Structure 1
Amino acid sequence: MSKLALVTGASSGIGLAYAERLAAEGYDLVAVGRRRERLEELAAAVTGVEVQVLVADLATDEGLDAVAGACATRPLTMLVNNAGVSHYMPLAELPAAEARELVAVKVLAPTLLTRAALPGMLERGEGTIVTVSGMLAFSGPAPYSVMPRRAVYAGSLAHAVTMSQALHTELEPTPIRVQVVCPGVVATEFHSRQGLDLSAVPRMTAADVVTASLRGLELGEVVCAPGVEDTGLLDAVFQADLAAFAGQSPELATRYR
C-alpha cells in the first residue's frame, strides 16, 4: 500500500529535509510552499515516488483553503506542519501585518490542516501528524538579558507544543500518532531571511532534525527535542505543568487575601 505525506514549507530547510527523507523511504509527496521553482527542483530531484507540487501561501485564506482541501481529500499517511516565518522582534515593534502572518502560518494553519486531515486518517485507521515547533516554546520565563525579545514567535511555538500534547491525549484510543518537534538553532535559510548572521553559532542540520523526529516516532515520543540529551528535563517540565494544573482550587489563594 502506498504512503502519502503532505509537507508544508517543503521548498527549503527542515521541510525540504522531511520531503527528501520521506521520499527516500517510499512516500509519495504533496510538497507545499510559496516558491514554485524550489518545489519543482525537489520534484525533479527525487526518484521512484510521485510528487505533487502545491504552491500556496498559508498566510492567506486562499492558500490555506487550498492546502486544507488537499489534506481532506488525499489519503494522507503523514502530515508535516513545518511552514514558518521568522518575524523576530518585540511585540510593540512588530507590524500588525507581520503579527497576522506569523499567527496565521504557525497557529491557524497547523490547526486547520490537522483538522482537515484527521477525519480521513481516522476512517482509514492510520496516520501521523508532525508539527515543527522549537525550543523557544520553553523560553517564556527567560530574563531580559538572555535573548532578543520575540513574544509572538515564542508564543506560537508554545501553542504547537500544548496543542500536540492535548491532541495526542484526545487520539489515545486511536492508531493516529501525534508529535511536536522542538529543535534549537538549525542551519537553514530561516535566520538569514530575517537578516541574522548565525554562521558563527553551532547549529544542528535539518537532516538531523528529521532523523530525530522519525526515530522519536518509533520511540513513541510526543515531544521530540533533537538537541536535548537528558529527556528527564522535559519530563520535569511537563510534570510541573500537571502539578500546577492539579494544584488549583476554587478558594482564593492566601497570597491574594
Structure 2
Amino acid sequence: MNKLALITGASSGIGRAYADRFAADGYDLIVVGRRGDRLEQIVAARPEVNVRPVVADLSTDAGVDAVAQLCATEPLTVLVNNAGVAHYMPLADLSAEKARELAHIKVVAPTMLTRAAVVGMQKRGKGTIINVSGMIAFSGPVPTSLMPRRAIYAGGLAFAVTMSQTLNAELEGTGVRVQVVCPGVVATEFHERQGMDLSQIPRMSAEDVVTASLRGMELGEVVVAPGVEDAGLLATVFAAELAAFSGQSPELASRYQKS
C-alpha cells in the first residue's frame, strides 16, 4: 500500500507545493479545495500517483464533516491542514459571516480533521499531522503603529501553534508526530484574493516553505519557522512561556493587592 497524504487548501500556493512534493516522493494524494478545476490540474499533472480530488468548503459544517469522514476512514500517512482565508481587518469591521468563515477554516476544520485522523494513526502506530500557521501567531504584542490589527486571524494562527505543541506531547510514544509551520509572507495567490498587492515586498516561495517543513521534521522540530535564521529566538519564546506557566501560585500576586 502506498503512503497517503490528505492536503487541504491544495488547489494553489503552499497546499499545491505540498501536493507536488509528496507526489514526487511517491505518496498517493487526497487533495481538498473549493475549486474543482484546480484540483483536476493536480490529477493531470501527477499521473505517476493516485490523486483523488475532493471539492469541499471547510467554512461550512458539511464541508468539515465530509473531509473528517475521509480522515477517519482512509489510512492516512500524512494530514496537512493548510486551508486558509485572511479577512485582514479589525474585529469591529469583520462581518459575522467572515468571522464565522475564518473561525471555521482556521480553528474548527483543523480540530475536527485532526481528531478524525489521529485515532487511525495511533492504531497504525505511525502518522504525521502538519498544521500550517504563520508568524502572525507571534504578533500579539506588536503595537498598532507597526501592524494593522487582525485579531481573529492572528488568534487562529496562535491556536494552531499551541494545539500542535500540546498534541505532539500528548502523542509522545505513539508513533504519531505533529508539526506546525509558521512562514512569514509567502508568494502565493493568498493575499491577492484579499485585494492586497504585496508584489513589491520580498516573499518566500511556497516550495521553500515545504522544504523547511520536511527538513524540520527530520530535525525533530515541532514549530518550524522557515524564515527565522536564529532558532534560539523561538527557544527563548517557549522558555518564557514555560517560565510564566510554572511561575503561577494560588496566592494573589502582590501587584494586584491593595496597598
Same fold? TM cut 0.5: yes
* Match of residue 139 from structure 2: 139
* Match of residue 53 from structure 1: 53
Q: Distance in 1 between matches of 2:252 and 2:98?
A: 39
Instruction: Give the secondary-structure state (helix, strand or coil) at the position aligned to 1:166.
Output: helix
Q: Distance in 1 between matches of 2:157 and 2:61?
A: 21
Instruction: Give the secondary-structure state (helix, strand or coil) at the position aligned to 1:188.
Output: coil
Q: How does 1:138-157 map to 2 (within 5 A)?
A: 138-157=138-157
The Cα offsets for residues 118-173 of structure 1, whole Å up to 9 and x where unpaired, read as 11101111100000000000000001111111010000000000000000110012
Q: How does 1:111-122 map to 2 (within 5 A)?
A: 111-122=111-122
Q: Distance in 2 between matches of 1:235 and 1:23?
A: 33
Q: Distance in 2 between matches of 1:219 and 1:170?
A: 19
Aligned pair 1:227/2:233, yes or no? no
Q: Distance in 2 between matches of 1:144 and 1:9?
A: 30
Structure 2 alignment gaps of length 5 or more: none
* Match of residue 252 from structure 2: 252
Single out whichever of 229-238 and 44-53 deviates more from structure 2.
44-53
* Match of residue 242 from structure 2: 242
* Match of residue 93 from structure 2: 93
Segments ≥4 residues shifted beyond 6 Å: none
Structure 1 alignment gaps of length 5 or more: none
Aligned pair 1:212/2:235, yes or no? no
* Match of residue 83 from structure 1: 83
Instruction: Give the secondary-structure state (helix, strand or coil) at the position aligned to 1:213.
Output: helix
Q: Distance in 1 between matches of 2:110 and 2:62?
A: 15
The Cα offsets for residues 46-69 of structure 1, whole Å up to 9 and x where unpaired, read as 131000000000011111111000
* Match of residue 124 from structure 1: 124
The Cα offsets for residues 187-212 of structure 1, whole Å up to 9 and x where unpaired, read as 00000111110000000000000000
Instruction: Give the secondary-structure state (helix, strand or coil) at the position aligned to 2:59.
Output: coil
Instruction: Give the secondary-structure state (helix, strand or coil) at the position aligned to 2:180.
Output: strand
How many residues matched? 257
Q: CA RMSD in A?
A: 0.5
Q: Distance in 2 between matches of 1:96 and 1:66?
A: 24
Q: Distance in 2 between matches of 1:164 and 1:200?
A: 33
Partner letter of residue 247 of structure 2? G
Q: Distance in 2 between matches of 1:96 and 1:133?
A: 22
* Match of residue 178 from structure 2: 178
* Match of residue 38 from structure 1: 38
Q: Distance in 2 between matches of 1:115 and 1:144?
A: 36
Which TM-score applies when normalising by structure 2? 0.98
Q: Distance in 2 between matches of 1:165 and 1:19?
A: 24
Partner letter of residue 172 of structure 2? E
Q: Distance in 2 between matches of 1:134 and 1:118?
A: 23
Q: Distance in 1 between matches of 2:246 and 2:216?
A: 28
Instruction: Give the secondary-structure state (helix, strand or coil) at the position aligned to 1:179.
Output: strand
Q: Distance in 1 between matches of 2:231 and 2:98?
A: 34
Instruction: Give the secondary-structure state (helix, strand or coil) at the position aligned to 1:6.
Output: strand
